Amino acid sequence: IFACFAFQTLNLNNPHTFRDLSKPMGAQTVERKHKFIQRYKEVEKSEGDLSVQCHYCTHYSSAIIVASYLVRMEPFTQTFCSLQGGSFDVADRMFHSVKSTWESASRDNMSDVRELIPEFFYLPEFLTNANHFELGCMQDGTVLGDVQLPPWADEDPHKFIRLHRQALESDYVSAHLHNWIDLIFGHKQHGSAAVEAVNTYHPYFYGDKMDLNNIKDPLIKSTILGFISNFGQIPKQV
């Protein structure tokens, strides 16, 4: 919800405090949006097969994304390690900072379009390393522990959660949340509306586009099911 992670205080009356809820994470900046549009056009030109044409080859929600956010809490610690082959990920790729995660998902990393999970609005415990897991050391020497919070949270996970809840009830979010719902659950999931909104994903992410009952090859079916299990799926349109 927020796009402001450098200031000491939050102004919930300022629209610039918030992300653009009418756009997916891949289109939060003009430059990034144009890159994904260009990718879409290049696939059309090079492949000539509209079935594989998409803006994003990764998803905004998956098992690994959820587990990475909640890695400091069991049973998600074990879930994360299991998905990673039995150990934690490289420290620099672990969820360690709210600000850096926003920058990655909204601007810097073309493979990262993740959204938040519900726990950002009710569960402060997932932000602390209360179990003292050894999560590793980053290249700059930072030892991972608690999640680094924005200055406006005053290093207080409860305040961080409280401000997210207040933001949900703010005038700005109340006036614009329907746009985000259209992207995730509504008519901008599919078709020309999704293309115009820069909101199309790999066909495997769309459960209603994959008729698994008609796929006879067990290897292909297993591959698709594994893809969905690991990388996520678009929810059914409401």
Write out pLDDT tens, residues 219-230.
888 887 877 777
Percent above pLDDT 90 for the chain: 78
* Contact (CB, 8 A) for 67 and 80: yes
Residue 183 contacts residue 24 (beta carbons within 8 Å): yes
Q: How many CB atoms lie within 10 A of CB 23?
A: 19
Q: What is the pTM of this model?
A: 0.91
* Residue 50 CA: distances (Å) to CA of 45, 46, 59, 165, 195: 10, 11, 19, 41, 12
List the single range of 117-131, 162-176, 194-208 with lowest mean pLDDT: 194-208
How many Å apart are CA 15 and CA 71, to the nearest integer? Answer: 32
Please indicate, yes or no, if residue 77 is contained in any of the structural domains: yes
Per-residue pLDDT tens over the stretch 182-209: 999 999 999 999 999 999 998 888 877 7
Please give the residue range of the domain that contains residue 222. 15-231
Integer Cα distance of 192 and 199 in angstroms: 10
Higher pLDDT, 212 or 218: 218
Instruction: Give the pLDDT confidence score for residue 124 in this predicted structure.
Output: 98
Per the domain annotation, does 3 fall within a domain?
no
Q: Residue 27 has what pLDDT?
A: 98
Q: What is the reported pLDDT for 50? A: 47
CATH of the domain at 66: 1.10.1540.10
46, part of any domain = yes
Burial code (b: 16+ CB inside 10 Å, e: under 16) for 55-74 equals bbbbbbbbbbbbbbbbbbbe
Neighbours of 204 (CB within 10 A): 22
84-105 core/surface letters (b: 16 or more CB in 10 A; e: else): beeebbebeebbbbbeebbebb
According to the model, what pLDDT value does residue 7 have?
92
Domains in the chain, number = 1
| 74 lies in some domain | yes
The pLDDT value given to residue 222: 84
Residue 41 lies in a domain: yes
**Spatial CB neighbours of 223, under 8 Å, sequence gap ≥ 6:** none
Q: Is residue 211 part of a domain?
A: yes
What Å distances lie between residue 83 and 64, 77, 78, 205, 231, CA to CA? 7, 10, 9, 19, 11
Lowest mean pLDDT among 21-25, 49-53, 202-206, 231-235: 49-53
Given this model, what pLDDT does residue 227 score? 78
Q: What is the pLDDT of residues 30-46, one digit of tens each?
A: 999 999 999 999 876 55
Give the lowest-confidence range in 20-34, 57-71, 216-230: 216-230
Average predicted confidence (pLDDT) for the chain: 92
Q: How far apart are alpha carbons 148 and 13 in whole angstroms?
A: 25
Q: Which residues, 6+ apart, have CB-to-CB distance to 142 below 8 Å?
A: 91, 96
The reply to whether 7 falls in a domain is no
Residue 42 covered by a domain: yes
> Given a cut of 90, is residue 150 above it in pLDDT?
yes
Asked whether residue 60 carries a pLDDT value surpassing 50, the answer given is yes
- Which residues, in sequence order, are bridge partners of residue 143? 137
The string of pLDDT tens digits covering residues 83-115 is: 999 999 999 999 999 999 999 999 999 999 999
Q: Alpha-carbon distance 52 to 230, whole Å?
A: 19
Mean pLDDT to the nearest integer, 40-59? 74
pLDDT reading at 47 higher than 70: no
